[in-house]
Amino acid sequence: MNQADLLEKAPVFQLKGSMLALTILELSSNDLDALAIQLTEKVEQAPQFFQNTPIILALDKCTDDTKPLDLERLLTICREHGLSTMAIRSDRPADLTAAKALNIAVIPPSDARERPLAIAPAAETPAEPSLIPARVITHPVRSGQQIYAKNSDLIVMAAVSAGAELLADGNIHVYGPLRGRALAGINGNREARIFCQQLGAELLSIAGQYKVAEDLRRDPAWGKASQTCLNEEQLEISEL
């Protein structure tokens, strides 16, 4: 392959500009021992934040000039705590020399506004759905009454009469005879189940799949404590 061929080839790279949101670790003191301790505490609070997070080390706000900064040790401390240093920000000659020796990029101090980064504690950061307490009914549910537990389970601690209707986005528990209709997982939750102490329901439904009393009556669990769940496209009833 000669020079001409190489020149004729399509460009192998492009230079692009981009604005990236980066975390800046701003040092206010040269005391690296204190930094190590405080970083350890921070990591305990929010472990998932410190997982090879790229950072810029800002040394320009560090006013403590009494003792020279050991840049090599600073980088090691950061690495040990899961922070990967991309560059330092400083204009002090000592830092520039040290950075050059360690092959670390240097960016000049900026006047851009920076705001302190709020690192949420670990317990709050996971995006798990928050718990909605079950709706608990302690009185009998009579014919013509309808009870809906939105986004939660429904627990009835009394009889559910024929002609009554229980609706829940979650599971339905009936600690008494269930003679009315029970529809669980009505928002399409196929994992929802229906539990009752005495199965005598007019209709059972999970995520839209239903069985009426005519079919339920023939089930060996009829009149007994039972649970109902969805298996493939079929309601499966079993004795408890």
Q: Which residues bind another protein (CB under 8 A)?
A: 139-145, 158-159, 161-164, 177, 179
| CA–CA separation, 59 and 91 (whole Å) | 8
Nearest-approach distance from CB 143 to another protein, in angstroms: 4
Nearest-approach distance from CB 178 to another protein, in angstroms: 13
Helix boundaries (H) for 46-164:
71-80, 93-102
Return the number of the residue (73 or 139) whose C-beta is nearest another protein: 139
Nearest-approach distance from CB 137 to another protein, in angstroms: 11
| CA–CA separation, 152 and 171 (whole Å) | 7
Return the number of the residue (173 or 179) whose C-beta is nearest another protein: 179
Return the number of the residue (34 or 212) whose C-beta is nearest another protein: 212
CA distances from 143 to 165, 177, 202 (A): 8, 13, 12
CB-based contacts of 59, cutoff 8 Å, min separation 6? 27, 69, 88, 89, 90, 92, 95
Return the number of the residue (165 or 219) whose C-beta is nearest another protein: 165
Could you tell me if 154 and 137 are in contact, meaning their C-beta atoms sit under 8 angstroms apart? yes
Return the number of the residue (59 or 178) whose C-beta is nearest another protein: 178
Q: Assign 176 to helix, strand or coil.
A: strand
Nearest-approach distance from CB 164 to another protein, in angstroms: 7
203 secondary structure, DSSP code: E
Nearest-approach distance from CB 206 to another protein, in angstroms: 25
